Chains A and B, each alone.
Chain A
Amino acid sequence: MSAQGDANRRVNEDESANVNENTSTSGVPAPRGEGEPIARRRGMFGANNGGDTSGYGGLARTVRMPGASQRPYGGYFDEVADELEGALEEQGVDPEAAIEKTVVDRGEITFHIAREHLPVVCRTLRDDPALRFELCTGVSAVHNPEDTGRELHAVYHLRSLTHGRLIRLEVSVPDSDPHLPSVVETYPTNDWHEREAYDFFGLVFDGHPALTRIMMPDDWQGFPQRKDYPLGGIPVEYKGAQIPAPDQRRSYS
């Protein structure tokens, strides 16, 4: 428990240290209204640098993710939500503050968790006999660059072998302050998964035992799976050696 508190404190310290201009000064992710628009896309074919000669370049589309659901959620979802809220209340955590939103879509339930409450939520989900989500299948990350204040998402899937259930936790953090507490203490399996999410998205998991790059070389610059990172076309740098971008290499034609 003390280490958990430690992780929380570290998050709070980082928040106060990094005041960002994109979001409110407290550093918490910006609240999101109804409808969940996360981005706007133009054109039809993804080419937006003048290469689109289709005439459809003026089309605009708002990207909307499934919004918050109202009870009843259906199936075992209500039971899980009730148990989680009850167990959090018992520990003195306000469920309203910890669970920002609950989304039920395509037969799956997603709890959007406020990042400072993630460790206690995970521990509760794992240890509460009525919940017992023993198996964490790691963390995936999503980058929504246009969703200001909630650019980076960490997505956890928890599986209960005891009850045969599967839920999803989602934590959103702003790009300017990409910190969230690590859950390695509760789910040691997330060690490598969190390193991977850090490596590719720059999510900083506070309290992780050794948050280093795992796939990319140690001295790699940037976070390759972010949306603003190009696919190819960049010079390859590895331990000081420079290999030019594919379009600038020698060709024999």
Chain B
Amino acid sequence: MTTHATRPAEARETTEGTVYTVTGGDWDEFAAAVESADDERIVVNMGPQHPSTHGVLRLILEIDGETVTEARAGIGYLHTGIEKNLEYRTWSQGPTFVTRMDYLTPFFNEAAYCLGVEKLLGITDDIPDRASVIRVLLMELNRLSSHFVAIATGGMELGATTVMIYGFRDRELCLDIFELITGLRMNHAYIRPGGLAQDLPPGAVDALREFVKTMRKNLPEYDKLCTGNPVFKARLKDVGYLDLAGALALGATGPILRSAGLPHDLRKSDPYCGYETYDFEVPTTDTCDSYGRFLLRLEEMRQSLRIVEQCIDRLEPGPVMVADKKIAWPAQLALGPDGLGNSLDHIKNIMGTSMEALIHHFKLVTEGFRVPAGQVYTAVESAKGELGVHMVSDGGTRPYRVHFRDPSFTNLQSMAAMCEGGMVADVIVAVASIDPVMGGVDR
């Protein structure tokens, strides 16, 4: 296979000592043989358990020296069959599943799902204003928390652990708000078909105002830490390059598409939950690279804060669930000594005085409501891009088919286009700039 030199390299004596000349002879042949021998390629398996692959993502890299010649992604390690499971549960039980898909963007999953159910039911216009405002509020807080993780883990993978500490510190503040409002840090199942599981708790508005104030102080720290940092810039600039044609062909949305200069945002182009009434901007960069995506995420967080502030100002007292008692669960939640549950008054009412209310409660909870047959597609602009739901009902009390078009799944396809021809170390940066979450990719 490889040709070895059949004669020793020529030697000549100089004042510095003996100099061997390895050019000439069959050296050229040797070099050519090494170059063309294809079993010299190295295939590196990165993951599925690797701290830099964002969960259980397996990257199969074919490398030549430090250069990646071919990159592929192996996924499916976190497949949980959520779409299949949804077909075996009522429409109201759906949020409990979908909130666990992309576990960093639970409110987007829930909102997309619920908007789909509401569109199938034809009650989109009946959703109370307060419910929509709180949905927007939570989605924007979720955009903040998701971007914090994207920046934090991206920084950690570069070795910038301070960025990680900062990112997770601020994400924790977002999760504190989630916990205050929904009772859970993650997997909330708070947005329900028809509205919300419950209203904001007392003190939520004050906590939100405090949160916005803290964030206004904390967000510039990322600028100070990263934006002008020469090491950070050297690692991110021109890495993970994907231009507009590539992004559209590969279906990449969210920060990847906007980093290529197209201000496409479903909140502007196909508004839902009343986004058309909020004042915010869709930032773009035209660098098409990881650095641009980092800057975008920072700017999007500032815009999200603006929306959060507008939401706080708009919160008017009112119901947070549709008035239709055939859809809204009859539960009157209250905090008891053993945690959140049906209020004692409500239980006293259905158990003691109103058999019809008891029957209604029982039917609605065990059997669920019926949704007219048909199919819809609803999409929200998640922190990662277009999160679409294709939902089919056969007129029954359970979804006939729910398919999630998760942005992480689609965006991850662009990994190969971003990485091939680059350095191995840049694969990490490119994947971090895609911000895939395997819970969403594999569902």
Listed in ascending order, the chain A residues whose CB lies under 8 Å from chain B are 38-39, 41, 44-46, 61, 63-66, 105-108, 110, 134-138, 140-143, 155, 157, 159, 161, 164, 166, 168, 187-193, 196, 200, 213-217, 224-225, 231
Chain A residues contacting B84 (CB-CB under 8 Å) are: 224-225, 231
Chain B residues contacting A159 (CB-CB under 8 Å) are: 386
- CB pair B413 A192 closer than 8 Å: yes
Closest 10 CB pairs of A and B: A189-B251, A140-B403, A215-B76, A140-B390, A215-B79, A63-B394, A188-B249, A142-B401, A137-B405, A157-B377
Closest chain B residue to A196, Cβ basis: B409
Q: How far is the CA of A108 from the CA of B122 in the complex (A)?
A: 13
Beyond A137-B405, A231-B85, is A187–B79 a contact (Cβ under 8 Å)?
no
Chain B residues contacting A110 (CB-CB under 8 Å) are: 375
Q: How far is the CA of A19 from the CA of B85 in the complex (A)?
A: 34
B63-78 vs A, CB cutoff 8 Å, 1 = contact: the mask equals 0000000000001100
- CB pair A161 B269 closer than 8 Å: yes
* Main SS at interface, chain A: mixed
Beyond A192-B413, A215-B79, is A137–B251 a contact (Cβ under 8 Å)?
yes
Beyond A106-B374, A164-B269, A216-B76, is A192–B394 a contact (Cβ under 8 Å)?
no
- In the assembled complex, 18 residue pairs joining A and B whose CB atoms fall closer than 8 Å, in A order, are A41-B396, A63-B373, A106-B119, A135-B253, A137-B377, A137-B388, A138-B410, A142-B375, A142-B392, A155-B403, A161-B248, A161-B269, A189-B251, A192-B410, A196-B409, A214-B75, A214-B76, A215-B442
Minimum CB–CB distance for B374 against chain A, Å: 5
Contacts beyond the supplied A61-B395, A138-B405, A189-B252: 11 A-B pairs with Cβ under 8 Å: A63-B394, A105-B375, A108-B375, A135-B251, A143-B401, A161-B269, A168-B377, A187-B251, A191-B413, A192-B410, A215-B76
Chain A residues contacting B120 (CB-CB under 8 Å) are: 106
- CB pair B248 A63 closer than 8 Å: no
Q: How far is the CA of A63 from the CA of B400 in the complex (A)?
A: 11
Closest chain A residue to B252, Cβ basis: A189
Answer whether residue B376 sits at the interface, using C-beta atoms and an 8 A cutoff.
yes
Minimum CB–CB distance for A142 against chain B, Å: 5
With beta carbons under 8 angstroms apart, the residue of B122, B252, B409 that contacts A192 is B409
With beta carbons under 8 angstroms apart, the residue of A63, A164, A189, A213 that contacts B413 is A189
Chain B residues contacting A105 (CB-CB under 8 Å) are: 374-375
Minimum CB–CB distance for A248 against chain B, Å: 19
- CB pair B410 A189 closer than 8 Å: yes
Q: How far is the CA of A163 from the CA of B386 in the complex (A)?
A: 17
Minimum CB–CB distance for B241 against chain A, Å: 17
Minimum CB–CB distance for A123 against chain B, Å: 13
Minimum CB–CB distance for B258 against chain A, Å: 12
B402-415 vs A, CB cutoff 8 Å, 1 = contact: the mask equals 01010001101100
CB contact list, B103-125 vs A, under 8 A:
119-120, 122
Q: How far is the CA of A108 from the CA of B116 in the complex (A)?
A: 12
Minimum CB–CB distance for A47 against chain B, Å: 12
Q: How far is the CA of A11 from the CA of B120 in the complex (A)?
A: 35
Closest chain A residue to B366, Cβ basis: A45
Q: How far is the CA of A105 from the CA of B392 in the complex (A)?
A: 12
Chain A residues contacting B262 (CB-CB under 8 Å) are: 161
Answer whether residue B250 sits at the interface, using C-beta atoms and an 8 A cutoff.
yes
Answer whether residue B264 sits at the interface, using C-beta atoms and an 8 A cutoff.
yes
Minimum CB–CB distance for B92 against chain A, Å: 16
Closest chain B residue to A170, Cβ basis: B375
Chain A residues contacting B373 (CB-CB under 8 Å) are: 63-66
Chain B residues contacting A188 (CB-CB under 8 Å) are: 249-251, 413
Q: How far is the CA of A164 from the CA of B268 in the complex (A)?
A: 10
Chain B residues contacting A187 (CB-CB under 8 Å) are: 249, 251
- CB pair B376 A166 closer than 8 Å: no
- CB pair B377 A108 closer than 8 Å: yes
Minimum CB–CB distance for A202 against chain B, Å: 14
Most chain A CB within 10 A, of B88, B252, B390, B398, is at B390
CB contact list, B351-382 vs A, under 8 A:
367, 373-377, 379
CB contact list, B150-201 vs A, under 8 A:
none
Chain B residues contacting A168 (CB-CB under 8 Å) are: 375, 377
Closest chain B residue to A164, Cβ basis: B269
Minimum CB–CB distance for B260 against chain A, Å: 12
Beyond A164-B270, A215-B79, is A189–B376 a contact (Cβ under 8 Å)?
no
Chain A residues contacting B410 (CB-CB under 8 Å) are: 137-138, 189, 192-193
Chain A residues contacting B251 (CB-CB under 8 Å) are: 135-138, 187-190
Chain A residues contacting B395 (CB-CB under 8 Å) are: 61, 63-64
Minimum CB–CB distance for B255 against chain A, Å: 16
Q: How far is the CA of A63 from the CA of B392 in the complex (A)?
A: 12
Chain B residues contacting A213 (CB-CB under 8 Å) are: 76
Closest chain B residue to A41, Cβ basis: B396
Q: How far is the CA of A157 from the CA of B442 in the complex (A)?
A: 20
- CB pair B249 A166 closer than 8 Å: no
Chain A residues contacting B119 (CB-CB under 8 Å) are: 106-107
Q: How far is the CA of A63 from the CA of B373 in the complex (A)?
A: 7
Chain B residues contacting A61 (CB-CB under 8 Å) are: 395
Chain A residues contacting B83 (CB-CB under 8 Å) are: 200, 225
